[in-house]
Structure 1
Amino acid sequence: MRANPFPIPTALILSALALSGAAVADDFHVDSLFDDGVGSLRAAIAFANQTPGPDRIVFHGDLAGKTLWIDAPAPVISEAVEVIGPAGGAATVRSTGNDRVLSVVTDWGAIVVLRDLVLADGGLLNQSGGCLSIQGASVLLDRVRVTGCKAAHGGAISAQLGAILELQDSRIDHNRAVWSGGGIRTDGALFVGRSEIDHNTVDGFGRGGGIAFWPFADNQSMLWILDSHLHHNAATSSDPAGASLGGALDAGNGRLRVERSSFYANRARHGAALSRSGNVDLPMDARLVNSTFAGNVGDDVVSIAQGEVALEYSTISANIRDGGEGVARAFDSPATVSVRIAGSVVSGNYPGQDGIDLASGERRIDADYSLIGVAGLGSVDAANPGTNRFGIVDPRLRALGWNGGPTPTMPPMADSPLIDAGGDADLPATDQRGSARLVGSAADIGAVEDDGDRLFADAFDGAPADG
């Protein structure tokens, strides 16, 4: 097995936990729905900014489910602080519509934590970070929803100037950007864990409907998406002749890892689910493991223009196009990049449409123990299949649905050619659902290991994926 080139980014996680468990300098309480005055969130932030050391801002339990309105200018957090929403249910902090909801501007590395809150309806279309703008800080959003925001870049959240952003059990939804990052735009490290990025749009320049990840200064910054689902995001262009990239994710420079996650029903002209571009002279690598890409709409679904990429024990199937010219491509590496596919399904895309499953530029793709439907000329050596299976256009998968685990999946049917057809190269310990990976005589190809539950193997097993 290859060594894992992606160390777990524990620094922010451990820092946040340390902040939660450490003795704090002071507690400041929020018990008012008003924008200013005693007991308001704005007043608590001002007091915390003036007090040295990591402080806490604690919402009173009576504010659970209530709405606090924020007028312009938005409050600015400038020191390390933990903001804790009310017990019993999140409070909504809502902008009156003339500014973002919060700004965080600190020295590099200061820790800011937001818990159990909803940030809503902030932003102007000539600024970045519609509801939350971050500069310099390391910010953890834990059980936070950011919704209904708009901006030029980062419709919901913008993280800049070395900021680090972590999402845990959070949701970024129904936000809009004009140029990039309908949900999130960041130039630093980003971790998305057990979270949902959905129904975000970018509709001007058209890059990154859900997330735009473009680390400029540090090309080794990392984006890690784990146990999360990105769906119904869209990148479109206001120029009919212009391209739109990365319906769910446009990842530029830096390192990318996607693990046990689903990308579905996203839309863009190129990289309907994921676009991987960047500067040709900078090293980049990506690894997509135990993940599913289904129901995305575009000329290609996963587009790898720069860097190295490994697709391991994942499923790319049931993707479609709506209009467009030429041949659609589910997994497309148009440039001379190094691509390795192991134990994965790339088949069953564009049914009844003009499309292929796998395409490459001038460099042949290295594949093993994979099932590939329609392969483009020169992408693989179909005459020498080795451990692969080529030309099978129906992998016999159930429809995308909730089949256990934190994300929707497409398990194999009882008669699927994927069952017991995998190998042990780069074999994860579990499948996308977190179930045992090795069941039977060999691992299965694709993101889900068949567990022998075939009572409903007629494709009606599991609830359908949500809208």
Structure 2
Amino acid sequence: MLAIFGLVLATGGFARAAGPWYVAPNGADTNSCQLATEPCKTIGGAVDKAASGDTIHISAGTYTESVDTTGKSLTFAGAGEATTILDGSMYLAKTETVSGISLQHSTGIYVESAASVILRDMSIKNSLRGILNFGTIDAANVTISNNRGNLPSGGGVWNLPSGKITMSHVTISGNEAQFNGGGVFNRGKLTMAYAIVSSNVISDTSTNNGGAGIYSTGVLTMTDSIVSSNTSANGGGGITNTGLATIERTAIISNTALRGGGIDSFFESSPTVVLTVTNTTISGNTGSSFGGGIASGLSDVRLTNVTISDNTSSKGAAIAASSSTVRLQNTILASSTPANNCEKDDAFVSQGHNLENGSFCGLVGTGDTLNANPLLGPLGQNGGFSPTRALLAGSPAIDGGANAGCPATDQRGVARPRDGDANGSVLCDIGAYEAVPPAKLLYVPMARR
């Protein structure tokens, strides 16, 4: 007895039972909660019993509560986001994993600065906000939708300066903010791949507000994604960049704003504003007053193998730039009003082999082609994750680019360069799409009996 008493004093009390823990609507928090047949009734009840490193299994059902991990590192495993519903928020402060849950009707997920959180196979919807992040998040197969904020910015996601978020195979749609970032407001570091950012809204018309899809004043890296049908009452229908943004193999399509229908890149407060776009289609966007495809103010824009087509604006259907440096290589600029392709007060820097369907963008680099129809096919799924505009047979963009600086693949992931016109010269195509040469037919005579 003395030995046991001494052990209790040395460890600060009797040892807590180890997990896993179970939660179900028919349970009771007075149960042991360590068997599926004796579950807790609430998630909070299981959290109280758990220790750092434990897993909490949550059965199908609706749980009306808010969850606070109280400084414990825990794994929350729901039965599936279609069946395990949390009507409440989550406060995550340590190393946490959340999967198989649909969170709704709440203030979303709050991630502390010291937290490292993994989100998998879940949704956050119909709440006052989606995610407010000060820490580190790794999210995959997550849907963030129809959140319409109690915060002025970041209806779907607000990533603070200390925040780091990596997202893969996520959908951010139907969210709304008043000022900046209807879908996402990024002030930290945000990396997105295979993301769909669509139908998000910015409602306020104040100067410099915008980024209906994404507003980034930090570091944004986006690859193999789609930014579509977002609407801003002021700037940046698809994306607003006031920091460092790198966009590759992405479609930015059918977004609407007053300025920068597809992308609005401008100096706000960052020392340097750089927008780098490669192997990307920017098509069908509207910037009603300035910059249908891209608007730039006091920023550095670098375009390589980009297709900018059929965008609309009263000034600069393809690109409108003010006090900016715009560099272009292997890029298509085409609109239904060629005389309105570009609006600029400084000459663009052609790095060669661009194609314009007019002659109003001041392209005078080696291999630049003016007043030429690029012969683009309709926007469609031509392979790869995001839609592209194929180069039709006879397009001057086929084998019209430079191999120096040509990306290793096109927007779809097709290897570059190729001999697209089958004339024996292997050259990079202009724009985001690399044409595949037609297959050669082999004639085999019919055998005689």
TM-score by length of 1: 0.76
Q: 1:356 to 1:418 in 2, by over 3 A?
A: same
CA gap 1:280/1:132 in 2 versus in 1, 3 angstroms: closer
Q: Which runs of 5+ in 2 are unaligned?
A: 1-17, 30-39, 53-68, 420-424, 441-449
Task: For residue 115 of structure 1, report the CA deviation from its aligned partner.
Answer: 0.4
Counterpart-to-counterpart distance in 2, 1:411 and 1:270: 27
Count of aligned pairs? 381
After superposition, residues 82-231 of structure 1 pair within 5 angstroms as 82-85=97-100, 91-95=101-105, 99-107=106-114, 110-123=115-128, 130-135=129-134, 137-151=135-149, 152-205=152-205, 206-215=209-218, 222-231=219-228
Match of 2:353 in 1: 369
- Shift in Å at residue 311 of structure 1? 0.3
Residue of structure 1 in register with 2:394 after alignment: 415
Q: Give the SS at the match of 1:410.
A: strand
Partner secondary structure for residue 179 of structure 2 = strand
1:286 CA displacement: 2.1
CA contact (8 A) 2:220 2:245 kept: yes
Letter in 1 for 2:331: S
**SS of residue matched to 1:429:** coil
- Name the counterpart of 2:297: 305
- Distance 1:64-1:167 versus aligned 2 partners, 3 A rule: closer
Contact in 1 for aligned 2:154/2:184 (Cα 8 Å): yes
Q: For 2:137 and 2:19, how far apart are their aligned partners in 1?
A: 19
SS at 2:393's partner residue? coil
Match of 1:388 among 368, 389, 414: 368
Which of 1 and 2 has greater Rg?
2
Partner of 1:264: 253
Counterpart contact for 2:242–2:270, Cα < 8 Å:
no
RMSD value over aligned CA atoms? 2.5
Identical columns (%): 22
Deviation track 1:207-264 (CA, whole Å, cap 9, x = no partner) reads 010111123xxxxxx200000000011101xxxxxxx1100111112x1100000000
Q: Give, in angstroms, the shift of residue 34 of structure 1.
A: 9.5
Q: CA, structure 1 residues 359+174, in 2 after alignment: closer, same or farther (shift >3 Å)?
A: same
Q: Deviations for 1:162-194, whole angstroms, at most 9, x for unmatched residues?
A: 111121111001111111111011210111111
Q: Give TM-score scaled by structure 2 length.
A: 0.79
The alpha-carbon distance between structure 1 residues 364 and 447, as it changes in their structure 2 partners (threshold 3 A), is: closer
Q: Hey, what does 2:12 align to over in structure 1?
A: none
Distance 2:273 2:437 in 1: 39
Aligned residue among 328, 337, 344 for 2:331: 344
Task: Provide the rounded CA distance (Å) in 2 between the counterparts of 1:422 and 1:355.
Answer: 23
Bigger strand fraction: 2
Distance in 1 between the 2:343 and 2:22 partners?
Answer: 56
> Does the Cα contact within 8 Å between 2:339 and 2:359 map onto a contact in 1?
no
Residue 184 of structure 1 contacts residue 211 of structure 1 at CA under 8 Å; is this kept in 2? yes
**Quick check: 2:71–2:93 contact (8 Å CA) kept in 1?**
no
- C-alpha change, 1:79 and 1:375, in structure 2 (3 Å) is farther
Choose the corresponding residue for 2:311, options 319, 326, 335.
Answer: 319
Confirm or deny: 8 A CA contact 1:207 1:246 kept in the other structure: yes
1:259-318, CA deviations, whole angstroms, 9 ceiling, x for partnerless residues?
000000111011101110124771232210000001112231211212322100110002
Asked if 1 retains the 8 angstrom alpha-carbon contact of 2:167 and 2:192, the reply is yes
What is the rounded CA distance, in whole Å, between the counterparts of 2:27 and 2:428 in structure 1?
A: 57
Q: CA, structure 1 residues 429+55, in 2 after alignment: closer, same or farther (shift >3 Å)?
A: same
Q: 1:333 Cα shift?
A: 1.6
The amino acid of 2:328's aligned partner reads I
Q: Are the equivalent residues in 2 in contact too, given 1:149–1:156 (CA < 8 A)?
A: yes
